[in-house]
Amino acid sequence: MSPRKSAAEARATRGRIIDRGIAIASVEGLEGLTIGRLATDLGMSKAGVLGHFGTKETLQLAVLEGASAVFVRAVWHPAEDAAPGLPRLRALCEAWIGYLEHERAVFPGGCLFTTASVEFDARGGRVRDAVARLSRVWRRRLAAELRQAVAAGELPADTDPEQVTYELVGCYLALNQELQLLADPEAPARTRRALDRLLAPAAADHSR
Partner DNA sequence: CCTACCGATCGGTAGG
Residues binding DNA (CB under 7 A): 9-10, 13-14, 33-37, 39, 43-52, 54-57
The CA distance from 26 to 106, in Å, is 8
Residues numbered 120 to 159 that lie near its own copies (CB under 8 A) are 120-123, 128, 131-132, 135-136
Burial class (CB in 10 A: 0-12, 13-18, 19+), 3: exposed
Query: Which partner from the list its own copies, DNA, none does 65 bind, CB cut-off 5 to 8 Å by kind?
Result: none
Query: Which partner from the list its own copies, DNA, none does 195 bind, CB cut-off 5 to 8 Å by kind?
Result: none
Number of residues that bind its own copies (CB under 8 A): 44
What's the closest the beta carbon of residue 6 comes to DNA, in angstroms? 7
Name the residue nearer to its own copies (CB basis): 9 or 121: 121
Name the residue nearer to DNA (CB basis): 40 or 163: 40
Which string of DSSP letters, residue by residue, matches 132-180?
Answer: HHHHHHHHHHHHHHHHHHHHTTSS-TT--HHHHHHHHHHHHHHHHHHHH
Question: Which whole-number Å values give the CA distances from 197 to 163, 167, 207, in the listed order?
Answer: 14, 11, 12
Query: Which partner from the list its own copies, DNA, none does 95 bind, CB cut-off 5 to 8 Å by kind?
Result: none
Regarding 162 and contact with its own copies (CB under 8 A), the answer is yes
Binding residues for its own copies, rule: CB under 8 A, are 26-27, 29, 31-32, 108-110, 114-115, 117-123, 128, 131-132, 135-136, 160, 162-163, 166-167, 169-175, 177-178, 180-182, 186-187, 190, 193-194
